[in-house]
Amino acid sequence: MFGWIKRLFNKAEELEKTSDAKVQDEMKYLIAGLGNVGSKYIGTRHNIGFEVVDKIAMDLEGNFKTESQGDIAEVKHKGRTLILLKPSTFMNRSGKAIRYWMQKKKIKQENVLVILDDLNLDFGKIRMKGKGSDGGHNGLKDIQQMFGNNNYARLRIGIGANYSKGHQIDFVLGKWTTNEMDELFDIISKSANAARAFTSDGLKNTIANYNGKVN
């Protein structure tokens, strides 16, 4: 009799622990800023994803550590755990690092946000979407290939397309102009705020509140 009651209590404790673990997993988010590693890429348009997650870490007093396939910082925001990732796999293999850290930290795909530059948006405009095409962006192409679908949130940051024919790569990998630098802090700050809002307010509310021009 007592053995049966003990097993019942043990089972209840196991279910409670499982439930708690599930809730904790649902409160974990992976925010991946895309870019290329190396000093020559610092301050380039293609690395704005790195700059945004750097800003999130700074605002939430997190510190990056070099881990497998990327630099990682773990911070808290409104009861959520945010795993900030700067992949070290270079832009064209971004999906490899993102999938690795999703699996390692047991983060659901709907709790993943990818931050990247976008030639198809005017400079200073940000746009969050819950899914969509890769738009010709090599980082998104690799992520979609790794996921097997395009149903993941992404925050696109417009860098404009102010380049002559045949010079797209030079433009994307080029440094910000003086005029762009004057606006860059506000762009990065708003993008960081939008990323945090995604984790606490949800995708739809974040889209409604943040999509559009910074100024």
pLDDT exceeds 70 at position 23: no
pLDDT exceeds 60 at position 200: yes
Nearest CA to 68 out of 37, 109, 97 is that of: 97
- Residue 85 pLDDT: 98
Pairwise CA distance, residues 131 & 151, whole Å: 5
78 within 8 A of 46, measured Cβ to Cβ: no
158 within 8 A of 121, measured Cβ to Cβ: yes
The number of beta carbons lying within 10 Å of the beta carbon of residue 90 is 18
Residue 46 annotated as catalytic: yes
State pLDDT tens for residues 65-123.
Answer: 999 999 999 999 999 999 999 999 999 999 999 999 999 999 999 999 999 999 999 99
- Residue 4 pLDDT: 67
pLDDT exceeds 60 at position 22: no
Tokens 């738009």, residue?
135
Q: String of b and e for 34-52 (b: at least 16 CB within 10 Å)?
A: bbbbeeebeebbbbbbbbb
Kindly name the residue from 46, 77, 137, 167 that is annotated as catalytic: 46
- Residue 18 pLDDT: 47
State pLDDT tens for residues 24-55.
Answer: 667 899 999 999 999 999 999 999 999 999 99
Structural domains for the chain? 28-213 (3.40.50.1470)
State pLDDT tens for residues 154-196.
Answer: 999 999 998 988 899 999 999 999 999 999 999 999 999 999 9
197's CB contacts (< 8 A; 6+ apart) are 205, 206, 209, 210
101 within 8 A of 28, measured Cβ to Cβ: no
